Amino acid sequence: MHVPNLHLLPQTHLKNVLSHPASIRLVKNKIENGKRIFQIDALVGKGYQQMWFNEDTLLIKMEILRASSVYGDGMRIYEFLNYKKIQGIAFPSIVHHTNSNSVFGEAINTYYINETTVETESTGLMLKWNELPAAKQPKRVYNEIVKLAENIYMIENITNSSGYTTYNILFAEFENFILVAEAQLNNAFSEKVIKKIKEFLPGKEIRYIVQTHHHNDHIGGIRGYVAEGSKIVTTPGNVELVKRIAKAPFNLSPDRLAKEPREPVFEIVTNKKLLIEDNIQSAVVIDIGPTPHSNEMLVIYFPKQGLLFQSDMTMYGGWPLNSEITKFFVSKLKELNLTINTIVGSHAGVIKGNNVEKLLKGELADPF
C-alpha cells in the first residue's frame, strides 16, 4: 500500500528527534535475546519519547508520551518490524501502532508497507484543487469579523488558509448573551476566538456553543467553552464524548480547564429541535440527522434574518456541489421548507441570494 501517513515511517520520527539534539540521551546499552539493543530518550516539543534501536542502528520500537491539544495526555507506541530496502533506503514492512488516551481508550492497528512513493496521494475531493493554478485558489481574509446580517457575525478563516480548507466561526448577538457555532480545531483556537468575540461584544457572556457534530476538527476546541461556562448545545449521542474530552488529563500542556476544572453544562437537542430566543434574536437548532456525514447533525436557523449555518454539507468553492452530502442537504432543506437567503458554512464561502435558490434547484455552479 502507499503510506500517506508519514507518522508510520521511522524516518519521520527520527527527523523530529534530531531537531531537538540537546534533549537526546543514551539510557541503556544491553543484550536482549542475544542481540544488542540501545535505548535512547528525548524530549520533542511537549512530548517525551523513548526509542529502541537494534545493532544495525535501525529503530525497532518507540513510545511517545504526548500532549494532544484535543484529547489531552496520551501514549503512542510503534513497533517497526521486518526491515527491507526500497530504492536503497531501509523501511519496515510491518508497523504495529497503538494509540491510547482517556477519551477513546486504546486503538491497535497493524500496517503493511509494500512500496513507497514520492508522489502526493490525492482523493477525488482534492484533485480539483490540485489542478487549479495557484492564482485561482481563493485566498480568504484572515481572522476578520464580517457582519452577515443583523446581530449575526462570522470570524472568517481563523486558520489563514485557502479554499474550502478555511475554518469560519459564526456568532450571534442576543440581548444579554452570545451564541457561538462550533468549537473548531483545538483549545488554542477556541481561546483566541473567545477573546476576539468578547472584545467585539463586551459585557456579554458566551452562553451557548452549538456543536454541529462530533468530528474532531469541529469539536476539538470544546474545552475552552467548558472553561468559559458556556452551555454546550449538542445531541444525545455526543454527551459522553464531550464529558470525556472535558475530563481528559492535560498535565503535559495544561490549558485553562486543566487549571480551573469544571463540569460541562449541556443543552440537549431533543425531538429534533431546540429554540433559543429573547427580545432581539431567535435561533432554531435543528437535528437533520442521520446524514451521510454524521448520524447526528445540527444546523442553526435564524428565521428573522433568513440565515442558516451548516457544517460539511455544502462547500461553495470546495468539494463538488453534486456530492452525496450536498444532495442530501438540499433535499433536507426542501423538506424543512425554511425561508433562506443566506447559507453560511464552517468551511469555504457564503452562499447568498440567487445562489441559494440555484443550490436548491441543483443549478449552482462552482465559482472557480
pLDDT digits (tens, 9 = 90+) for 105-136: 899 999 988 765 544 333 333 334 344 344 44
- Count CA atoms closer than 13 A to 137's CA, side-chain side: 16
Q: Are residues 98 and 209 located together in one domain of the fold? A: no
- pTM metric for this prediction: 0.77
Q: Are residues 176 and 251 located together in one domain of the fold? A: yes
Q: Give me the pLDDT at residue 163, please.
A: 58
pLDDT at residue 199 tops 80 = yes
Which alpha helices (H) appear in 201-268, and where do they start and end? 216-219, 222-228, 239-247, 256-259
Q: Are residues 162 and 55 located together in one domain of the fold? A: no
pLDDT at residue 4 tops 80 = no
Question: Does some domain include residue 123?
Answer: no
Question: Does some domain include residue 126?
Answer: no
Is the model more confident about 99 or about 365? 99
Question: Does some domain include residue 57?
Answer: yes
Q: In the numeric block, which cell numbers belong to residue 109?
A: 492497528
Per-residue pLDDT, averaged over 253-264, amounts to 95
Nearest to 282 by CA among 303, 268, 299, 306: 303
Query: C-alpha angle with apex 30: 25 to 32, nearest 5 degrees?
Result: 130
Question: Does some domain include residue 368?
Answer: no
The residue range of the domain holding 274 is 134-361
Q: Give me the pLDDT at residue 290, please.
A: 95
One-letter identity of residue 364: L
Nearest to 62 by CA among 17, 113, 102, 21: 17
Question: Does some domain include residue 327?
Answer: yes
Cα–Cα dist 341/191, whole Å:
31
- pLDDT-derived band at 138 (thresholds 50, 70, 90) equals low
What is Dmax (Cα atoms) for the chain?
Answer: 78
- pLDDT-derived band at 2 (thresholds 50, 70, 90) equals very low
Q: Are residues 97 and 180 located together in one domain of the fold? A: no
Q: Are residues 261 and 330 located together in one domain of the fold? A: yes
pLDDT digits (tens, 9 = 90+) for 43-100: 887 788 999 999 888 999 999 998 888 888 999 999 999 998 877 788 899 999 999 9
- Mean pLDDT (the chain) is 87
3-state secondary structure of 98: strand
Number of folded domains that form the chain: 2
Q: Are residues 319 and 181 located together in one domain of the fold? A: yes
Peptide bond into 249 cis (omega under 30): no
Cα–Cα dist 37/72, whole Å:
31
One-letter identity of residue 259: K
Is the model more confident about 98 or about 141? 98
Cα–Cα dist 183/191, whole Å:
10
Question: Does some domain include residue 211?
Answer: yes
Q: In the numeric block, which cell numbers belong to residue 318?
A: 470546495
b vs e for 246-264, b when ≥16 Cβ sit within 10 Å of the residue's Cβ?
bbbebebbebbbbeeeeeb
Q: Are residues 24 and 138 located together in one domain of the fold? A: no
Ramachandran class of 58: left when φ > 0, alpha when ψ lies in -120 to 50, beta otherwise: beta
Beta bridge partners, 68, equal 72
